Amino acid sequence: MASACASSAIAAVAFSSPRQKNGSIVGATKANFFGGRKLRVSKVTSPSGKRSVAVCAAADPDRPLWFPGSTPPEWLDGSLPGDFGFDPLGLASDPESLKWNTQAELVHCRWAMLGAAGIFIPEFLTKIGILNTPSWYTAGEQEYFTDTTTLFVVELILIGWAEGRRWADILKPGSVNTDPIFPNNKLTGTDVGYPGGLWFDPLGWGTGSPQKLKELRTKEIKNGRLAMLAVMGAWFQHIYTGTGPIDNLFAHLADPGHATIFASFSPKQQLRLCASAFIREIPVNDGAAFFRSSCVIPAKETRDLNNTIFLDQSQ
């Protein structure tokens, strides 16, 4: 059993007899760590006769796995981009669910990469003085060329059309890579979700050998997964600290010993968060009394209250 788990190459070992009479079958099922591939050993006993042994080998034994030495589930054979054999909940065990989840992850990865670029790049360029853009966290509060209702309706129409095309590509593979007006203008030899549309591959990266395509798709999935974590981290960071990731990074580089994640749990930081949450709506003179009565602030920290309000108001 140890050698089977270490190599992740043996799928089943069966002993059978061509002259089985009144034989008994004893089955034992063993699952590897975190719900991986099941290894079933069937032993057939017979009064007499010769026995034959059949061994079914799994996929590439050098395949990278999320945990070295683990055995991947049987439904994750390494053919998908970014497949490292990780599925502890068995979400991909159903073939139809696997197809849907693959496309869902792909589109979420692409949106997350766009979102991460929209968070980090403008904030960094604003920080160093090249741009002067509002914070991504409060972008919805800005005044635009039209009202928010009109923007929302336009977004529904545009995103609805794009999602409708993507759904059609799942139902009829290749349809999204065909020009809806000029059907002869299309991409051939593509898979569902790749490259994502007729005009989404201007550099022709979606053509080439299968090994090259697999490598590029794996890079896309890995960067997309990282981007999803980065966007989620940026949101939680801004909610808790009141500043964006670039501001937090610059503060940490300026004072590595004090500007850390652990300092965010200090009472003074909680004071600043409580003040900055309402300072735009309350005058400075009235703010001190309001925050003293509304925020849970230690007595030794109240001396910093007026300075905190003044600093936040100046920002």
DSSP assignment of 185-246, as one string?
A: SB--S--TTSSSSTTS-TT-TT-S-HHHHHHHHHHHHHHHHHHHHHHHHHHHHHHHHSS-HH
Greater pLDDT, 6 or 68: 68
Could you list the residues known to form a binding site for chlorophyll b, using ranges. 110
Write down the pLDDT at residue 235. 93
Per-residue pLDDT of 203-238, as tens digits, reads 777 777 788 888 999 999 999 999 999 999 999 989
Could you list the residues known to form a binding site, using ranges. 105, 108, 110, 142, 219-220, 223, 225, 237, 252
Write down the pLDDT at residue 274. 58
Beta bridge partners of 38: 31
- Torsion angle, alpha carbons of 120, 125, 127, 129, to 10: -170
Could you list the residues known to form a binding site for chlorophyll a, using ranges. 105, 108, 142, 219-220, 223, 225, 237, 252
Q: Residues 195, 187: contact at Cβ < 8 Å?
A: yes
Per-residue pLDDT of 267-305, as tens digits, reads 665 556 555 555 544 444 444 444 444 444 444 444 444
Per-residue pLDDT of 7-42, as tens digits, reads 443 333 333 333 444 433 333 443 444 444 444 444
* Model confidence at 53: pLDDT above 70: no
Q: What does the mean pLDDT of the chain come to?
A: 72
Residue type, 276: S
Average pLDDT over residues 85-103: 88
